[in-house]
Amino acid sequence: MLPLDGLSTYSLEQMSDEEFWNYARQRASVASRISFPEQDDQDQYLECKLSSGYCLLPLRAIIEVVPPPHRFARLPSTPGWMCGIAAWHGETIAVIDLDLYLSGTGNSSPDAMLLVASHAELTIGLLVPGVGQTTTVQLEQMMPATTLECEPATHFVLRFASAGSKGSTQEEVVRGIYDGRTVLDAPALLSGVVQQIERATHNG
Amino acid sequence: MDDTNSPFHQDELSPEDLEVLRTFHAIEEPAADMLQEALWPGIPPNHPQEATAGLDISSDDEMLVLFTTEVGEDIATMRLALQQLEQDERLDSPAFLALKRTAHKVAGTAAAIGCDSMSKIARHMETVIRLLEGGAIVYLTGLIALGHAVEALESTLQSIVSHGYESINSLLELEEEYGVLNIEIHTGSMPGQPLPGDTASTLFHTVSQHTAPVNLQHLNRLEQHAEKLIELHTPLAHAQKEVETALDELHAAQARLRRLEPLLSTLSVSLNAASGAMNTDAGRPPSSLVARILQEAAQRTGHLHQSKSALPAQLLPAQETALWDEMEIDRFTEANVLAHSFTEAIADVATATSQLRLAFEHLNSIVTQQVDQAKIVRSNAHLLRSVPFSVLVTQLQQSVELIAGDQIGRVQLELSGETIEIDQDILETLTDPLLELVQSTVAEGLFFAKSQEQGEERKLRAWFNAHAIGNEVSIEIGFSLPISPGAITALRETVHHLYGSISLHERARDGMALRLRFPRSQRIIQGLLVRAGGQGIVVPFSQVKRIYYHKQEPGEAHPQDVPFAGTPAAYHLNTLLGFSTGNYLADKTFRTILIPELDDSQIVIEVDEVVGEVELVMKTLAAHLCRPGIAATAIDGSGNVLLVVNLPQIIQLQQAQQHDGNAVIETGTLNDRAPSPPQLTTNRRQKILIADDSVYIRRSISLTLSREGYDVLEAVDGIQTLEVLSKEAPDLLLLDIEMPNLNGHGVLNIIRVQQRFPELKIVMLTSRSSEKHKQRARALGAHFYLTKPCPQDLLLETIQSLLVPGGES
């Protein structure tokens, strides 16, 4: 059962019908956002260090974790958060600075790693300042992203979400908060990245 | 065979053929017009600007009626076409073209409304048509198969009309019948039959999007070379064994040396100890017998005895040369054996090293052979994709004959280099613009000659020559008269797309000639590896005329600011690519300049340095990474990604920017540039033109867009699309590929050549989903590519993103 956000049963009783149903609708929308298929319950996630917090990426979306190449080839008309392109298994993939993409800030780190993530034939390199342990996320314990205000460690998501110019998929990128870390939705993240890289050429 | 392979060329048809086509078209249009009249009384048919006025259709039933009516008409067209084909066994007849186009249209429309069975049946028809064109099935079998498909379409449509849902039974029965006819409809082939295409004339007829016809001669050669490559495994294994043996011997020799080392150390220690003892006895020999003999000798000769040690000098220091005992022979033998063993061990190591070196040389030789053989195999594999130039020449000849008609005697054709092998993709890409060039030039030439001639009959001379040098092919097309600038522009675009170059040569007496240069293969790039702004960039050889090293004099102005080497402007490649420039020009004494292979270029390109020549496999960029001026990427031996640039395209972009008033990008990246000025300065409604031959598709999209507040225009074919574009200046064009009169690619080509609609955004909306079509559309200037059936949200999102002022960042 979802927490009542400090509301007691008595408070519920004091509500008018309209207030009650508004509240119910609000709770229902939250519930729908954190309800996932049964098979996702025990998903493994990789902890990634970002400059302003930690995030979790589903392991099933990550094909490989490798040290980043010495340098990336630049491509014209790309967003500022795109590092460039790199060779991976004989193919050319786009590499983005995940920190810069999510929080707007990015610093080079000696522990930086390149996560090669893939979904639906889209392969993207995600450069992160560091990676931590893998962890099992109990999805039923995951908090909705709307409670972010209470999580200082994840304030980058707020900045990310407030950057409305990046497209309409921002809300979908964050699945929720688990143990103070932001759980990212890899398919939404990758498709958003690809969409913005593609559109950058029209703006260039 | 897809639509790019068989564009509908009206010029190739006789007046009778055109009349038949018009009849087919007339069958379709009145029905649609009648329907339109019923739905929107008072609005003239095909009147784009009023097509959506007062539109208020919200009922799904009405859309269903529209769909069933349209498909019913299409089925009638198919039946008529099949009747014609029973009489006229020609695959290039108008009836066959009409059947093909209608099947494609039904497939797209049915998919859009969600009638999967009907769409699938229509796709089966397209497959059968491809098999017929490729010669994989006989004509009669093909007609029977198509007849069954039309019946299946009809009964499925009937199920929708009668029961309100689509029955799958007809589709299943059809697939069963195809099994009886031995047609593998899912793979698009006939079991047990070879792939068609061992003759040049059928090389362009692809069996499906994923298979290509193969030249059997090249295939046999490829097999032979591949076998040789496999045979190299045995000597390679032997060579490796030799290396292993040599290594073992080397290890054994090393082990012996290790064993000798402590012995020598012990000996040295004992000798030192002995030397110490000798010193204490002041040179007295340890043996009394020897001492007595020596003493007697000294008395007899008056000389003291000198020791003569046989130990090697390296084992005994100088002061120990007097060290010997009474059994000197024993001492000599022991040391000598040790020294010999040591020498032998050293010799063994030397021998093993020598053997190892030889083995390595052998191994390297074998590996080199293998690499060479692999290169041959790769080259042969590329040849599989090649066809002789004669294929194109034949089409050009036919085109000239068609245009000239009974005046063909006045046209003199000269051909050479017909056997030169050229990549199929290249030849296919070149075919349309070359045919256009030849047709327009010959037509103009004959007309001009006719009006000017005064009794004297002058022949129009045309020549097509092909040459191959290394990995490059050069084609010269010349006429004894001027060539239309419009046709040259279209051809120039195409050649640049092929990473090639084009130059115009005027001849005082002989007219004009176009010389096209491009790589023989589009998969392997041979070019200059240059460095610009610290990045490795490959420039194809065919795009560089020469390299020029310019010595910068002290105080000389920046070449970007002044005319350089007689040209108006020199740009750094880094700047042209939109990367930040930095101070790369600061302390350079010599500047490296590339002179592009262009006849009218006003730009020369500066690079930091030319590193060398490279031959690399090109990697196609994923759709989201495609950028104007970047042809592909390549990966060097160190795993670095190199950009393969299309120099003419980059220059063209630069010239377009200059033309727009954006003279030079001095600094900053393209990313940093301010967004383009808003497209719309007033609050007028944005206009979208839907170009699609399907009434249902047009209406359904029109409804969606109208609800979103757009003004909607419609066009039923390519020609009408161009007319509406000229009159209405829409903001965005939703363009189908398969359309009558002029297909989508033709429309794109004309828009691009005319350059009259710089602000127009173009979204392809088609059921053609292959990467080849996408690439071609992008190359022709389309901004986005969507495939049918397209989700409404995606369509709207795409349109919004393209029409929002400044775009989406």
Contact B639 A87 (CB under 8 A): yes
> Residue B362 corresponds to which tokens in the numbers above?
């052998």
Residue in chain A lying closest to B573 (CA): A76
DSSP, residue by residue, B13-40:
S-HHHHHHHHHHHHHHHHHHHHHHHHHS
- Whether residue B614 contacts residue B529, with contact meaning beta carbons closer than 8 Å, is answered with yes
pLDDT value for B255: 83
pTM: 0.49
Which one-letter DSSP state was computed for residue B706?
H
| A85 closest CB neighbour out of B623, B625, B797 | B625
- With beta carbons under 8 A apart, name residues in chain A contacting B669: 76
Contact A165 B622 (CB under 8 A): no
Contact A198 B623 (CB under 8 A): yes
> Residue A50 corresponds to which tokens in the numbers above?
């970002």
- With beta carbons under 8 A apart, name residues in chain A contacting B779: none
- With beta carbons under 8 A apart, name residues in chain A contacting B805: none
What is the Cα–Cα distance from B335 to B338, expressed in whole angstroms?
Answer: 5
Over residues B435-459, the mean pLDDT reads 69
pLDDT value for A3: 47
Q: What is the pLDDT of residues B374-425, one digit of tens each?
A: 778 877 777 777 888 888 888 888 878 777 777 777 788 888 998 888 888 8
Residue B312 predicted with pLDDT over 50: no
pLDDT value for B294: 66
Amino acid at B125: M
Residue B272 predicted with pLDDT over 50: yes
Confidence band, pLDDT 50/70/90 cuts, at residue B202: very low
From the candidates B529, B624, B626, which should be mutated to test the interface with A, based on the most A CB atoms within 10 A? B624
Confidence band, pLDDT 50/70/90 cuts, at residue B590: confident
Q: Minimal Cα–Cα distance from A168 to chain B, Å?
A: 10
Q: Minimal Cα–Cα distance from B639 to chain A, Å?
A: 6
Residue A38 predicted with pLDDT over 60: no
Bridge partners, residue B514, by sequence: B477, B504
- The highest-confidence range among B31-35, B169-173, B488-492, by mean pLDDT, is B169-173
Residue B143 predicted with pLDDT over 80: yes
Q: What is the pLDDT of residues B486-531, one digit of tens each?
A: 667 778 778 877 878 888 777 656 678 888 888 877 777 888 999 9
- With beta carbons under 8 A apart, name residues in chain A contacting B624: 94, 194-195, 197-198
Q: Which residues of B touch A (CB under 8 A)?
A: 535-536, 577-579, 619, 621-630, 633, 635, 639-643, 669-671, 673, 675-676, 783, 797, 801-802, 806-809
Contact A201 B676 (CB under 8 A): no
pLDDT value for B421: 85
Over residues A16-29, the mean pLDDT reads 78
Over residues B677-694, the mean pLDDT reads 68
Confidence band, pLDDT 50/70/90 cuts, at residue B454: low
Computed over every residue of chain B, the mean pLDDT equals 73
Over residues B458-477, the mean pLDDT reads 84
pLDDT value for A85: 95
Higher pLDDT, B282 or B417: B417
Confidence band, pLDDT 50/70/90 cuts, at residue B689: very high
pLDDT value for B713: 92
pLDDT value for A58: 92
Cα→Cα distances B622→A91, B44, B499, B633, B795, Å: 10, 45, 18, 10, 21
- B365 Cβ contact partners less than 8 Å away, ≥ 6 residues apart: none
Q: Minimal Cα–Cα distance from A86 to chain B, Å?
A: 6
- With beta carbons under 8 A apart, name residues in chain B contacting A165: 808-809
Query: Residue B707 — φ and ψ, nearest 5°?
Result: -65, -30
Range from B35-44, B256-265, B475-484 carrying the lowest mean pLDDT: B35-44
Residue B809 predicted with pLDDT over 50: no
Greatest alpha-carbon span in chain B: 153
Contact B626 A201 (CB under 8 A): yes
pLDDT value for A56: 92
| B630 closest CB neighbour out of A75, A93, A167 | A75
Contact A76 B806 (CB under 8 A): no
Quick one: what percent of chain A has pLDDT higher than 90? 25
- The highest-confidence range among A84-88, B12-16, B62-66, by mean pLDDT, is A84-88
Residue A165 predicted with pLDDT over 60: no
Contact A87 B627 (CB under 8 A): no
Confidence band, pLDDT 50/70/90 cuts, at residue B642: very high
Buried b (16+ CB within 10 A) or exposed e, B678-699: eeeeeeeebbbbbbbbbbbbbb
User: Does ipTM come in above 0.90?
Assistant: no
Higher pLDDT, B92 or B145: B145
Residue in chain A lying closest to B642 (CA): A73
Q: Minimal Cα–Cα distance from B225 to chain A, Å?
A: 25
